[in-house]
């Protein structure tokens, strides 16, 4: 891998940028691999990268049915935080946060991780209790967190409506200063480039159409580009997890729903942090390009259509204007939807399955982007060692049978 | 915004309805007879198909009745709405009526 | 003043020369006329250089005439009425209009940022992914500089004074686009009896007809438009929406239209400001998409210089706005349509130095007309470069053989101040694509055409690939007629009017003109003007492995500007296809996402903002609470009195007084927000047995019971008192927040799972109000009020219900207690509630009655160890965790019971409800405090610190004189007497003793007296 730097930019500029190498190759699939990762989104590419980097397994294929980063990786609102309530979830997301903090340098690709802080607003006394509880738990878990009063909020976020006359007055907020946003496409590309450099084959336009199981063991996959053998198959396909599970005869506690988001036209910097509100169901940040990036609530029905219903957008808009009345005249430029795979406890599944050598990474619901590096890191461990890392052990499929759910609905009441 | 046909009130906008998930998930008659895994399957596992989906909707801001809808989860096209327990049971709905205790439907 | 508008034609156009308007751009004053856009007025005033580009800070002028304008995005107005992000081509001129551009410092002409243009090679596609990484901590400074350089305007610093609304409508035929095809389609549909909505983004109907000099039906186009619009206006069921942009085509033929209700003139805003923009939410039976097409530019060196314009835009400025954008023009085209522009220019008095046509065979009939006017036509030639920096000074022309991408060299130079460019047309297929329709590539027309529709739509006119005016009219008529027939109506017969159609020569597949330098060294061939995306950028992206069109777009920002790729996307794909050696359809198209044109947040939000954001629910006693100045607690949609301060008391003082008053005498609380459900029917007992955990059937008529319901996962979902009013008649109460959800939950089980049960559920939450009287004097108070039933302990024991007449009013009296005191709840019709409350307060004066709010209620119940669902529970708490085993029937199944037998629910070390006492007898533990073990206290420096529980409720108990707290503690019930430690931020961990949650009157004697 030729390193990226200001110097390489200069040097290549002198040769009219003709000597840049592809960020990743486009190899034809081999007959077999030591491990296959199904799904070339951020999580899948991260899994492949850490398989190669941390576990020395570099004879790996990432099979992507479309183009890498084209699913939820390229469709989310890019929020990164780790201030989850339950220790199990908090430690997993905090692992991810730590990886984020050095990711651009580790990948030698600027993923523009920007720690501009994440506020979760409280609009009721119960919201405040929940925030106190979560902030206290975060601190004991070694995660930065603080409670911010309404008047401090007014100073920190200039145009936030902290008036006590608001329909749902803001009573305070939690703040994670290390939280923020990143450039979503760059995360996929950066992992792809780094994984490729370690020998991973990233194979686009290669749809998995079947999972071959013999005597309870996974032996390979059927794809639109032929069958590929491997006894270690990790499925990381977000919204389509149930479809892939069915290929292996499995049923998952997952439902796929549309989740929508929209951006405004670019405006001059006006919001330099991330603001989320569960009570009024809206969250917003401003991208480096100047667009206000707004996430809407989840659509109620099952859907694989990458589009949702317009009233959901209307509600999100009303919420944003409730929080920031000055944005009423800013104009919406584009809206889109992704497919989120929601588990009953709003927590992911990072698990072995009843099929030996078949692993599933799914159920991230509305908040998977933030977990991208950590998810790949623990899932690579799980695939390499055939056992969960202690960080993802609580997120096995067994929890649905034993009842040991990690219920993060409080933290995930608003999509993020 | 979907246009959903309530069997009693006719076609109405989606905002009048609330969604109830997959149809045909029958509560086991004797939960204690089930293993933890079987109970978990009833509780949490859903077929979540990519394609035709039999699902429940409630005309929450209308007649408040629950009914079934067959909808494609990719095109969102609705092929039909049906009463869950019509007075005269058509053949096709027999499964909903008298599915085995631990039937979870399926697509 | 008029002299200032040097480029204004003396006659023609759809402007009102009798209404001159003053306006300013970046502080400089100009004049224009009513009917102008900001763009046409600027061109009239000879303003060529208007703005700087985003990345390279190149000088830019107005390029288009509509929604596709990439360069001149302005901020209009000031203060609260400022509107950022408007293309100058879509700003209706009005008197006093103030506009600003975003860039250019110290001025647009002398912009210091123009230095970026020199470093274009370094600032290629995606350069930011390759740098700004070291040192790590500097990213925030890099980023801050990047952020400052972006954006087109500023959000106003004050709340929006404008009003918006939503309007729902149904129609038989929605016609999107009021050009020639749309007008014909709407006409035939409306006259055939269909309910029609015709929406057009422009200020008036006519579309491309407003910008051409052709005749329709033997009359000037404007006259024909006026006639059709008048005829449509006479139809009984035809809604005409000019200034109505169809934004989105969603599922099930649901479309949204943003209607600008006025021209943007200042309006009087009284108490009821006029609606400024309206969002139409339309369900259509048939949709006809007739939004015309977008002309494409061509890529050649310096194709972005001010004075280079789309040919169709030039024609539009001449015909519609009577503005001549240049005196001496060159027209560069690969198709016939631009010949019209050459003719328009010549007729309007400009010199056309040359028509440069890339096709060796040249054009069709129009080319002959051009030659007849003496315009030099160069065939097989291309414009390969543009001279002039702030304004076009001339163009270089080269030979072009049509099949070579080799470098070419200049053969001629033409001086000019305007270059009109046409690279062919792309139908506006956005809505067709949004609706799920397929697109097919036409090799003959070199564009994507709408093909199979997924919903009930059809395309017509230029949007359907029709090129001549005559064909568009005929196609509109066809689409309208077919729509009518599909609706089952009989289409009336209408003839399409005569209109000109010239024989055309086919378009040539020229997208990019070869440069003198090889492609990668030529950095000035722009594809996406707004994002400064060039041909070299696309080539670079491919070289770096970004080969999928979506990767290329995202890596180069192609198509991510405010025009959403309307101008540059097809050209970008063509360049990509060329680099990859593929065809354009192999490269694929990109997804068209709503919205078609940008729309204000406020318009999408509609009326539901501010006070109307969400309904406020108030109890029947609200008036009284407000009159005495009680602060309100927001509980869901409800406003509930929080406490009742006297003489400036704060929360704690007031609550202490209220608590003691209840414990010592009597207090009254408005408990009306509790959910109330009437349940009756022959199977009601069977039904409730399955819902509640206790033995409902054993309850005698007249008895009350505390009941809980679980989700199927075994977790506590809701709780409340239920009463058996008759053999088959129950009265259920729920939590305030759970009222609606519980009713829906019960109904869903009845209707979807147990339809054989005959049970009828009715919500009574609003119909009845509840006044809770608590305290040792509550019975005395009732007696004083006058009650027709005996109230003594034997006749009316604890946990019973009686119908009674109290103070002359019919009530249901419940002997229940949420405070642990002797207590009654008066349920009374809401119409009588305020009257009853006043009588209660009057009669209570003898007992020093006080009103108390939610806070005192919380303290009183916490003193008793009573839970609040949602405070002591969080969806992960079982009844066993709460110590409610006594409520779980062993004799029956109930919802959630099976889940309680799962291994995790049987763990001994689950978090269980306990009471806590602060060891210092002083500290009121903050709610949400986490609890740790003594062993963990020693390792506070290392993280994570294991937690064993948390504080759910915590108050100072005025009755007990010390703080109390409820908590969930791992294995807590077995640990009574143990100390755990409260991890208080910034303090030493505080030892707290685990005790029973029942702090006050643990035997429950006081409520039973």
Nearest CA in chain C to A279: C636
Structure tokens at A233: 């198959």
Contacts of B7 (CB under 8 A, 6+ apart): B65, B67, B81, B82, B83
Q: Which residues pair with C415 in a beta bridge?
A: C394
Q: What is the b/e burial string over A23-62, where b = at least 16 CB atoms within 10 angstroms of the residue's CB?
A: bbeeeebeeebbbbbbbbbbbbbbbbbbbbbeeebbebbb
Ranges in chain B, pLDDT < 50: 89-107
Which of A257, A303, A315 is best to mutate for the B interface (most B CBs within 10 A)? A303
> Strands C667-670, C768-774: parallel, antiparallel or unpaired by DSSP?
antiparallel
**Distance between CA A46 and CA A373 in Å, rounded?**
6
Contacts of C569 (CB under 8 A, 6+ apart): C553, C558, C559, C590
pLDDT value of residue B95: 43
Provide the residue count of chain B: 107
Integer CA distances (angstroms), C75 to A290, C94, C244, in order: 15, 14, 21
Nearest CA in chain A to B42: A253
pLDDT value of residue C103: 86
Q: At what angle do helices C830-844 and C778-785 cross, to 10 degrees?
A: 110
CB-based contact A310 B19, cutoff 8 Å: no
Provide the residue count of chain C: 1009
Of A91, A115, A330, the CB nearest to C155: A330
Which residue in this structure is represented by tokens 């005409």? C240
Establish if C608 touches chain B: CB-CB under 8 angstroms. Answer: no
CB-based contact B15 A254, cutoff 8 Å: no
Contacts of A202 (CB under 8 A, 6+ apart): A24, A25, A26, A27, A40, A45, A48, A61, A62, A64, A68, A192, A195, A196
Assign residue C346 the CATH number of its domain. 3.50.50.60
A303 vs B contacts (CB less than 8 Å): 73-74, 76
Residue ranges of chain B whose CB lies within 8 Å of a chain A CB = 1-2, 14-15, 18-19, 21-22, 36-37, 40-41, 43-50, 53, 55, 71, 73-76, 104
Longest Cα pair distance anywhere in chain B, in angstroms?
Answer: 43
Residues C665 and C688 reside in one and the same domain: no
**Distance between CA A79 and CA A282 in Å, rounded?**
13
| Number of domains into which chain C is organized | 7
Residues C993 and C923 reside in one and the same domain: yes
Please state the domain extents for chain A: 30-78+184-253+345-412, 114-179+255-342
Establish if C46 touches chain A: CB-CB under 8 angstroms. Answer: no
Helix (H) or strand (E) holding C540: helix C535-543
Backbone angles phi, psi at C595, to 5 degrees: -105, 160
Interface of A with B in 288-307 (CB under 8 A): 300-305, 307
How many CB atoms neighbour CB A315 within 10 A? 18
CB-based contact B15 A243, cutoff 8 Å: no
Which of A42, A203, A285, A318 is best to mutate for the C interface (most C CBs within 10 A)? A318
A8 vs C contacts (CB less than 8 Å): 130
Pick the last residue of a domain from C423, C451, C467.
C423
CB-based contact A141 C945, cutoff 8 Å: yes
Residues C690 and C751 reside in one and the same domain: yes
How many CB atoms neighbour CB C303 within 10 A? 25
CB-based contact B39 C902, cutoff 8 Å: yes
A4 vs C contacts (CB less than 8 Å): 129-131, 133
Q: Interior CA angle at C22 toward C19 and C25, to 5°? A: 140
C904 vs A contacts (CB less than 8 Å): 399, 402-405
How many CB atoms neighbour CB C553 within 10 A? 24
Q: Interior CA angle at A295 toward A292 and A299, to 5°? A: 150
**Distance between CA C609 and CA A282 in Å, rounded?**
14
Q: What is the b/e burial string over A220-253, where b = at least 16 CB atoms within 10 angstroms of the residue's CB?
A: bbebeeeebebbbbbbbbbbbbbbbbbbbebbbb
Assign residue C684 the CATH number of its domain. 3.30.70.1400
CB A291 within 8 A of CB A332: no
Which residue in this structure is represented by tokens 């102008």? C36
**Distance between CA C578 and CA C519 in Å, rounded?**
12
Establish if C871 touches chain A: CB-CB under 8 angstroms. Answer: yes
CB A161 within 8 A of CB A284: no
Establish if A249 touches chain C: CB-CB under 8 angstroms. Answer: no
**Three-class secondary structure of residue C571 per DSSP:** helix
CATH topology of domain A30-78+184-253+345-412: FAD/NAD(P)-binding domain (3.50.50)
- The question of ipTM being above 0.90 is answered as yes
First vs last C-alpha separation in chain C = 94
Nearest CA in chain A to B56: A301
User: How distant is the Cα of B49 from the closest Cα of chain A, in angstroms?
Assistant: 7
Q: What is the b/e burial string over C789-822, where b = at least 16 CB atoms within 10 angstroms of the residue's CB?
A: eebeeeebeebbbbebebbebebbbbbbbbbbbb
Q: Is residue C149 part of a domain?
A: no
Integer CA distances (angstroms), C746 to A172, A308, B83, C505, in order: 36, 29, 18, 71
C744 vs B contacts (CB less than 8 Å): 18, 58, 60
How many CB atoms neighbour CB C926 within 10 A? 18
Average confidence (pLDDT) per 10 residues, chain C, 1009 residues: 78 95 96 97 96 93 95 93 94 96 86 85 90 91 91 90 96 98 98 98 94 89 95 96 97 98 83 92 98 96 97 97 97 97 96 96 94 96 94 94 65 96 97 96 96 96 95 97 98 91 90 81 89 94 95 94 90 95 89 92 96 95 97 94 96 98 98 98 98 97 98 96 98 95 97 96 97 98 97 96 98 97 98 98 98 98 97 95 97 97 97 97 96 83 91 97 98 96 93 97 92
CB-based contact A140 C983, cutoff 8 Å: yes
Q: Is residue C604 part of a domain?
A: no
Query: Which residue range is the domain that position C35 belongs to?
Result: 2-118
Structure tokens at A257: 């729903």
pLDDT value of residue C404: 55
Which of B35, B37, B39, B44 is best to mutate for the A interface (most A CBs within 10 A)? B44
Nearest CA in chain C to B42: C712
Interface of C with A in 944-983 (CB under 8 A): 944-947, 950, 952, 983
Residues C745 and C771 reside in one and the same domain: no
Could you report the per-residue pLDDT of A79-120, keeping only the tens digit for each?
999 999 999 999 999 999 999 999 999 999 999 999 999 999
pLDDT value of residue A415: 40
Q: Subunits touching C (CB < 8 Å, at least 3 pairs)?
A: A, B
Residues C409 and C452 reside in one and the same domain: no
CB-based contact A256 B36, cutoff 8 Å: no
Q: Which residues pair with C949 in a beta bridge?
A: C931, C969
Rg, chain B, Cα only: 15
CB-based contact A18 C543, cutoff 8 Å: yes
Q: Is residue C730 part of a domain?
A: yes
Contacts of C987 (CB under 8 A, 6+ apart): none
Strand segments, DSSP code E, in C687-808 are 704-710, 716-726, 729-734, 760-763, 768-774, 801-806
Of B18, B48, B71, the CB nearest to A256: B48
Q: Is residue C996 part of a domain?
A: yes
Residues C779 and C666 reside in one and the same domain: yes
Which of C898, C899, C903, C907 is best to mutate for the B interface (most B CBs within 10 A)? C898
User: How distant is the Cα of C699 from the closest Cα of chain B, in angstroms?
Assistant: 25
A273 vs C contacts (CB less than 8 Å): none
Query: DSSP string of A318-375?
Result: HHHHHH-GGGGGSEEEEEEEEEEEE-TTS--EEEE-SSBTEEEEE-BTT--GGGHHHH
Q: Subunits touching B (CB < 8 Å, at least 3 pairs)?
A: A, C
Helix (H) or strand (E) holding C470: helix C469-486
Contacts of C183 (CB under 8 A, 6+ apart): C198, C205, C206, C225, C228, C229, C232, C476
**Distance between CA C76 and CA C171 in Å, rounded?**
35
Q: Which residues pair with A32 in a beta bridge?
A: A229
User: How distant is the Cα of A180 from the closest Cα of chain B, in angstroms?
Assistant: 32
**Distance between CA A315 and CA A313 in Å, rounded?**
5
User: How distant is the Cα of A96 from the closest Cα of chain C, in angstroms?
Assistant: 15
Which of C168, C252, C690 is best to mutate for the B interface (most B CBs within 10 A)? C252
Ranges in chain A, pLDDT < 50: 412-416
A311 vs B contacts (CB less than 8 Å): 1, 14-15
Backbone angles phi, psi at B29, to 5 degrees: -70, -35
CB-based contact B53 A255, cutoff 8 Å: no
Residues C916 and C1004 reside in one and the same domain: yes
**Distance between CA A117 and CA C801 in Å, rounded?**
54
Residues C334 and C402 reside in one and the same domain: yes
By C-alpha distance, which of C910, C955, C954, C950 is closest to C930? Answer: C950
Interface of C with B in 891-910 (CB under 8 A): 893, 897-899, 901-903
CATH topology of domain A114-179+255-342: D-Amino Acid Oxidase; Chain A, domain 2 (3.30.9)
Compute the CA torsion angle A103, A104, A105, A110 (nearest 10 deg). 170
pLDDT value of residue B107: 35
How many CB atoms neighbour CB A269 within 10 A? 15
Residues C282 and C385 reside in one and the same domain: no
Q: Is residue C131 part of a domain?
A: no
Which residue in this structure is represented by tokens 């008895």? C703
Residues C92 and C47 reside in one and the same domain: yes
Q: Which residues pair with C667 in a beta bridge?
A: C774, C850
Pick the last residue of a domain from C861, C879, C897.
C861
Contacts of C965 (CB under 8 A, 6+ apart): C862, C915, C916, C917, C918, C924, C925, C951, C952, C953, C954, C955, C992
Domains of chain B and any CATH numbers: 3-97 (3.30.2270.10)
Establish if C250 touches chain B: CB-CB under 8 angstroms. Answer: yes
């Amino acid at each position: 891998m030729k390193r990226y730097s200001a110097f390489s930019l200069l040097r290549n500029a002198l040769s009219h940028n003709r000597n840049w190498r592809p960020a990743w190759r486009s190899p034809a699939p081999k007959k077999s691999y030591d491990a296959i990762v199904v799904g070339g989104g951020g999580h899948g590419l991260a899994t492949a990268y850490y398989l190669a980097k941390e576990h020395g397994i570099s004879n790996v294929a990432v099979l992507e049915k479309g183009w890498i980063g084209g699913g939820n990786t390229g469709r989310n609102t890019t929020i990164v935080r780790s201030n989850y309530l339950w220790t199990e979830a908090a430690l997993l997301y905090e692992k991810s946060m730590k990886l984020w903090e050095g990711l651009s340098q580790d990948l030698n690709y600027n993923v523009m991780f920007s720690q501009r802080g994440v506020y979760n607003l409280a609009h009721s006394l119960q919201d405040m209790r929940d925030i106190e509880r979560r902030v206290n738990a975060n601190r004991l878990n070694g995660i930065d967190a603080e409670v911010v009063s309404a008047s401090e909020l007014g100073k920190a976020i200039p145009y936030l409506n902290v008036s006590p006359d608001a329909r749902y007055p803001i009573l305070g907020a939690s703040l994670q200063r290390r939280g923020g946003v990143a450039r979503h496409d760059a995360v996929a590309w950066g992992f792809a480039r780094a994984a490729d450099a370690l020998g991973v084959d990233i194979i686009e336009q290669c749809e998995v159409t079947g999972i071959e199981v013999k005597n309870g063991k996974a032996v390979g996959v059927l794809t639109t580009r032929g069958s590929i053998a491997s006894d270690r198959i990790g499925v990381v396909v977000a919204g389509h997890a149930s479809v892939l599970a069915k290929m292996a005869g499995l049923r998952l506690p997952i439902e796929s729903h549309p989740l929508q988001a929209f951006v405004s036209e670019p405006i001059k910097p006006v919001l330099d942090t991330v603001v989320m509100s569960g009570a009024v169901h809206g969250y917003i940040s401003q991208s480096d390009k100047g667009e206000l990036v707004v996430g809407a609530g989840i659509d109620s029905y099952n859907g694989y259509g990458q589009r949702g219903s317009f009233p959901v957008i209307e509600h999100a808009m009303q919420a944003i204007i409730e929080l920031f009345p000055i944005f009423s005249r800013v104009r919406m430029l584009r809206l889109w939807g992704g497919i989120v795979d929601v588990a009953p406890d709003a927590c992911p599944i990072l698990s072995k399955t009843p099929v030996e050598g078949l692993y599933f990474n799914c159920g991230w619901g509305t908040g998977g982007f933030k977990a991208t590096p950590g998810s790949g890191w623990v899932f690579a461990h799980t695939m390499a060692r055939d056992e969960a890392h202690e960080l993802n052990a609580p997120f096995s499929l067994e929890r649905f049978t034993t009842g040991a759910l990690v219920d993060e609905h409080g933290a995930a009441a608003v999509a993020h | 915004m979907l246009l959903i046909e309530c069997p009693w009130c006719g076609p109405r906008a989606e905002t009048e309805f609330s969604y109830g998930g997959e149809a045909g998930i029958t509560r086991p008659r004797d939960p204690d007879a089930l293993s933890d895994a079987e109970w978990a399957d009833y509780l949490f596992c859903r077929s979540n198909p990519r394609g035709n989906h039999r699902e429940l909707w409630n005309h929450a801001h209308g007649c408040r009745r629950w009914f079934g809808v067959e909808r494609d989860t990719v095109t969102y096209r609705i092929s039909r709405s049906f009463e869950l327990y019509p007075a005269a049971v058509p053949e096709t709905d027999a499964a909903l009526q008298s599915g085995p205790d631990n039937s979870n439907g399926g697509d | 003043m008029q002299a200032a508008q040097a480029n204004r034609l003396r006659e023609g156009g759809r402007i009102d020369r009798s209404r001159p308007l003053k306006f300013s751009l970046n502080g400089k004053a100009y004049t224009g006329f009513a009917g102008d856009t900001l763009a046409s007025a600027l061109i009239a005033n000879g303003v060529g250089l208007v703005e700087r580009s985003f990345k390279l800070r190149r000088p830019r002028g107005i390029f288009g005439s509509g929604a596709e304008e990439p360069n001149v995005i302005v901020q209009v107005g000031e203060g609260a009425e400022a509107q950022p992000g408007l293309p100058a081509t879509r700003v209706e001129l009005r008197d006093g209009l103030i506009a600003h551009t975003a860039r250019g410092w110290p001025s647009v002409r002398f912009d210091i940022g123009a230095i970026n243009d020199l470093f274009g090679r370094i600032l290629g596609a995606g350069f930011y992914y390759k740098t700004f990484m070291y040192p790590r901590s500097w990213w925030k400074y890099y980023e801050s500089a990047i952020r400052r350089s972006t954006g087109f305007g500023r959000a106003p610093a004050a709340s929006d004074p404008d009003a918006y609304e939503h309007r729902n409508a149904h129609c038989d035929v929605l016609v999107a686009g009021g050009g020639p095809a749309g007008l014909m389609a709407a006409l035939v549909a409306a006259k055939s009896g269909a309910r029609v909505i015709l929406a057009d983004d422009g200020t008036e109907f006519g579309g491309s007809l407003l910008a051409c000099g052709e005749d329709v039906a033997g009359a000037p186009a404007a006259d024909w438009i006026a006639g059709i619009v008048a005829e449509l206006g006479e139809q009984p069921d035809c809604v005409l929406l000019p200034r109505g942009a169809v934004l989105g085509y969603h599922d099930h033929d649901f479309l949204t239209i943003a209607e600008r209700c006025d021209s943007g003139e200042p309006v009087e805003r009284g108490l009821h400001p006029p609606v400024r923009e309206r969002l139409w939410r339309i369900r259509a039976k048939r949709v006809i998409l007739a939004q015309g097409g977008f002309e494409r530019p061509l890529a050649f060196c310096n194709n972005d210089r001010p004075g280079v314009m789309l040919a169709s835009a030039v024609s539009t400025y001449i015909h519609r706005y009577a503005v001549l954008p240049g005196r001496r023009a060159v027209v560069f085209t690969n198709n016939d349509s631009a010949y019209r522009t050459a003719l328009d220019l010549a007729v309007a008095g400009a010199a056309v130095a040359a028509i440069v046509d890339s096709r060796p065979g040249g054009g069709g009939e129009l080319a002959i007309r051009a030659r007849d006017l003496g315009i030099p036509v160069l065939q097989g030639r291309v414009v390969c470069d543009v001279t002039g920096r702030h304004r076009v000074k001339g163009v270089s022309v080269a030979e072009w053989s049509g099949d070579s991408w080799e470098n070419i060299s200049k053969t001629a130079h033409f001086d000019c101040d305007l270059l009109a460019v046409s690279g062919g047309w792309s139908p506006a297929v956005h809505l067709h694509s949004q609706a799920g329709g397929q697109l097919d590539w036409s090799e003959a027309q070199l564009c994507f055409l709408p093909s199979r529709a997924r919903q009930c739509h059809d395309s017509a006119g230029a949007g359907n690939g029709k090129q001549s005016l005559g064909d568009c009219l005929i196609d509109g008529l066809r689409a309208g007629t077919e729509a009518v027939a599909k609706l089952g109506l009989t289409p009336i017969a209408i003839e399409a009017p005569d209109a000109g159609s010239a024989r055309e020569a086919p378009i040539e597949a020229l997208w990019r003109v070869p440069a003198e330098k090889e492609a990668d060294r030529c950095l000035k061939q722009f594809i996406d003007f707004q994002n400064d995306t060039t041909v070299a950028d696309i080539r670079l992206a491919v070289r770096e492995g970004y080969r999928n069109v979506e990767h290329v777009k995202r890596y180069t920002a192609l198509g991510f500007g405010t025009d959403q790729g309307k101008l540059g996307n097809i050209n970008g794909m063509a360049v990509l296809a060329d680099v990859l050696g593929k065809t354009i359809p192999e490269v694929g198209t990109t997804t068209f996402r709503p919205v078609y044109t940008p729309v204000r947040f406020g318009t999408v939000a509609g009326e539901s903002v501010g006070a109307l954001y969400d309904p406020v629910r108030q109890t029947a006693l609200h008036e009284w609470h407000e009159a005495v100045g009680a602060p309100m607690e927001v509980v869901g949609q409800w406003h509930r009195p929080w406490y009742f301060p006297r003489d400036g008391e704060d929360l704690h003082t007031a609550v202490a007084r209220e608590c003691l008053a209840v414990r010592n005498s009597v207090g009254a609380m408005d408990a009306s927000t509790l959910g109330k459900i009437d349940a009756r029917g022959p199977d009601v007992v069977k039904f409730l047995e399955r819902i509640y955990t206790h033995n409902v059937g054993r309850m005698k008529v007249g008895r009350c019971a505390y009941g809980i319901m679980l989700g199927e996962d075994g977790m506590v979902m809701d709780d409340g008192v239920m009463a058996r009013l008759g053999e088959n008649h129950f009265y259920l109460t729920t939590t305030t927040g759970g009222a609606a959800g519980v009713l829906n939950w019960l109904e869903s089980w009845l209707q979807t799972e147990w339809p054989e049960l005959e049970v009828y559920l009715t919500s009574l939450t609003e119909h009845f109000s509840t006044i809770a009287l608590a305290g040792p004097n509550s019975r005395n108070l009732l007696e004083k009020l006058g009650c027709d039933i005996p109230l003594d302990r034997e006749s009316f024991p604890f946990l019973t219900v009686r119908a009674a007449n109290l103070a002359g009013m019919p009530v249901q009296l419940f002997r229940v207690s949420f405070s642990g005191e002797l207590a009654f709840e008066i349920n009374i019709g809401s119409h009588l509630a305020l009257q009853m409350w006043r009588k209660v307060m009057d009669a209570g004066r003898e007992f020093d009655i006080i009103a108390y709010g939610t806070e005192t209620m919380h303290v009183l119940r916490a003193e008793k160890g009573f839970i609040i669902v949602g405070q002591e529970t969080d969806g992960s708490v079982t009844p066993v965790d709460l110590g409610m085993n006594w409520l779980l029937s062993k004799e029956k199944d109930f919802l959630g019971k099976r889940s309680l037998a799962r291994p995790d629910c049987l763990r001994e070390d689950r978090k269980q409800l306990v009471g806590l006492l602060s060891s210092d007898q002083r500290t009121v533990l903050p709610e949400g405090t986490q609890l740790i073990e003594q062993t963990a206290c020693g390792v506070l420096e290392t993280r994570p610190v294991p937690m064993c529980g948390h504080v759910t409720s915590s108050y100072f108990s005025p009755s007990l004189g010390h703080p109390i707290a409820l908590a969930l503690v791992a294995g807590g019930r077995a640990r009574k007497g143990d100390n755990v430690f409260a991890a208080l931020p910034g303090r030493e961990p505080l030892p707290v003793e685990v005790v029973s949650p029942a702090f006050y009157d643990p035997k429950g004697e006081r409520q039973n007296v």
